[in-house]
Amino acid sequence: MPQATSPYHHGDLRVACVHAALELLEEGGTAALSLRAVARRAGVAPSAPYRHYADRDALVSAVAAVGYRQLADYLTAAHAEPSSVDDLAAVALAYVRFAIERPALFRVMFSEPCDRDSGNRVAATNIISAYLDSIVRRCFPGADVAALSTALWAVVHGLAFLHLDGKLEASRPSAVADRVHAAVHALLDGR
Amino acid sequence: MPQATSPYHHGDLRVACVHAALELLEEGGTAALSLRAVARRAGVAPSAPYRHYADRDALVSAVAAVGYRQLADYLTAAHAEPSSVDDLAAVALAYVRFAIERPALFRVMFSEPCDRDSGNRVAATNIISAYLDSIVRRCFPGADVAALSTALWAVVHGLAFLHLDGKLEASRPSAVADRVHAAVHALLDGR
DNA sequence: TACCTAATGTGAGCGGCGTTCACATGGTAC
DNA sequence: GTACCATGTGAACGCCGCTCACATTAGGTA
């Protein structure tokens, strides 16, 4: 016999909140991400999420951490082990594409300095910078790894945000790809 | 006889709102910027600002436009007519410093795609990119101006945001300066 | 099996927010 | 001097983050 009323306890509200938050971000942008909306979508009272997240920022941090892992997956999917500048440009383009395709999530990931939740969120960030470092090490054995991967992250991150903010036209994917390729080669050719 | 009560009409509420908003940003960060707080600080009813700004975003756009002009001034103050890579690096450092010193304003400037208020805000943005273009033209006469200044803007913008978000340590100004110099030279030396 | 406790969800309520609207005020043009 | 129009007021709506006393239930213990 199917129970008509939902059970008192949700089951796994903690992860349900993150899923709901991701959906809300996709559907309505950053502005749509409210704890109350998350609770509504999870079919739960407005105060329930506070059992699992101290405040809104804590939930946002959890969402950001998921975003970092998805971004890392997206990058490795573009090229598992890049070993040339062209491979590297493909990864750079993936970074920018991720930002353009999921702007609200990307903004959430980089909206605040992540003082709190340093364990989870900082760790997730480190995945990306470690991946970047390993690429640079493989492509440019003699180079100053820290300097070069910082510069590379900066170009890519800057390109992502400038597209997101409409400073660079992002409607034609081929134009985006050309820009990213040009920037990466400008930075790395001749090294 | 001094009038005890403030006059019914403010005088120039339009610009007073922008000033109040800038103060609130400096004092309490992005979160402190609310239309009601702006009205309070201007000594006016919560609904009064709506006579001058259609909604919160419109005020934010006006604030962002002021921010762009202040950023442009800050850059030209760093170096009026850069003609070498070192001059250029000084301008780049000024860009990053502006972001670090006025994080809330910087975030507001790049928080949303500026579809609306395209006149004012886009124009203010163009001041910066035109300045960048002129620098690149002067320093690298034969180069592809658009590509090079886009790449340069991206590095600098990316460095600014990565510092702002705590991905790069920003507490020691000399470390920031070294990073920016290294990145600019990596991108432009040998051109 | 029966209880007890700790974890989890509820519902009401606080103050703040953005926004709207009917109304008050007063400078300006005729 | 009067009529008009821009500007400011105050109350109100619904949404928000957040808190707290209370209800429910899962899971360990006797």
SS3 B130: helix
Greatest Cα pair distance in chain A:
71
Instruction: Answer yes or no: is B3 within a domain.
Output: no
Residue A5: pLDDT band with limits 50, 70, 90: low
If asked whether residues A63 and A121 sit together in one domain, one would say: yes
> Integer distance in angstroms from CA B42 to C1' C15?
21
Residues A68 and A129 in one domain: yes
Q: Which of A152, A167, A191 to mutate to test the interface with B (most CBs of B within 10 A)?
A: A167
Q: What is the pLDDT of residue A119?
A: 67
Task: Tell me what the mean pLDDT of segment B159-170 comes to.
Answer: 91
Query: Is A162's CB within 8 Å of B148's CB?
Result: no
**B4 lies in some domain:** no
DSSP H or E run through B37: helix B35-42
Residues of B in contact with A147 (CB under 8 A): 179, 182-183, 186
Same domain membership, residue A44 and residue A73: no
Phi/psi zone of residue A7: left (φ > 0), alpha (ψ -120 to 50 degrees), beta?
Answer: beta
Q: How many CA atoms lie within 13 A of A176 on its CB side?
A: 26
Contact predicate B138/A138, CB 8 Å: no
Report the distance from CA of residue A104 to the C1' of nucleotide D24 in Å, as an integer: 37
Instruction: Let me know whether B136 and B70 are in one domain.
Output: yes
Domain that holds residue B94: 55-188
Among B56, B152, B165, most A C-beta atoms within 10 A, so best to mutate, is B165
Q: What is the pLDDT of residues A64-117, one digit of tens each?
A: 999 999 999 999 999 989 999 999 999 999 999 999 999 999 999 988 766 555
Each residue's pLDDT tens digit, B125-138: 788 889 999 999 99
**Shared-domain flag, residues A41 and A65:** no
- pLDDT for B112 equals 72
Per-residue pLDDT, A116: 55
Q: What is the pLDDT of residue B4?
A: 40
Residues B46, B124 share a domain: no
Measured in Å, how far apart are chain B's first and last C-alpha atoms? 70
Across the range B84-111, mean pLDDT stands at: 95
Residue A2 included in any domain: no
Please name the nucleotide lying closest to A33, CA to C1': D16
pLDDT at site B142: 85
Cβ of A13 near strand C (distance < 7 A): yes
- Could you say which of B114, B125, B150 has the minimum Cβ distance to residue A183? B150
B138 & B89 share domain: yes
Q: Give chain A's domain count.
A: 2
The contacts of residue A96 (CB under 8 Å, 6+ apart) are A156, A159, A160, A163, A176, A180
A→B interface, C-beta within 8 Å: 107, 110-115, 125, 129, 144, 147-148, 150-151, 153-159, 161-162, 164-168, 179, 182-183, 186-187, 190
pLDDT of residue B111: 83
In this prediction, residue A161 has a pLDDT band, given cuts at 50, 70 and 90, of very high
CATH code for the domain in which residue B33 is found: 1.10.10
pLDDT for res B128: 86
User: What are the residue ranges of helices labelled H in A11-144?
Assistant: 13-28, 35-41, 56-78, 85-101, 103-109, 123-139
Instruction: For residue B13, give the nucleotide whose C1' atom is nearest its CA.
Output: D7
pLDDT for residue A2: 37
Tens of pLDDT, residue by residue over A111-151, are 876 655 566 777 777 888 899 999 999 999 988 888 888 88
Of A166 and B97, the structure prediction assigns the larger pLDDT to B97
Could you tell me if A75 and A94 are in contact, meaning their C-beta atoms sit under 8 angstroms apart? yes
Q: How confident is the model at residue B117 (pLDDT cuts 50, 70, 90)?
A: low
Nearby residues of A51 by Cβ (< 8 Å), 6 or more positions away: A13
Q: CA triplet B132, B137, B140: central angle to 5 degrees?
A: 115
Q: What was the pLDDT predicted at B9?
A: 64
Q: Are B14 and B52 within 8 A, CB to CB?
A: yes
At A24-40, the pLDDT tens digits run 999 999 999 999 999 99
Residue at the smallest CA–C1' distance to nucleotide C10: A45
pLDDT score recorded for residue B1: 38
The owner of tokens 């103060």 is B23
A1 pLDDT above the threshold of 50 = no
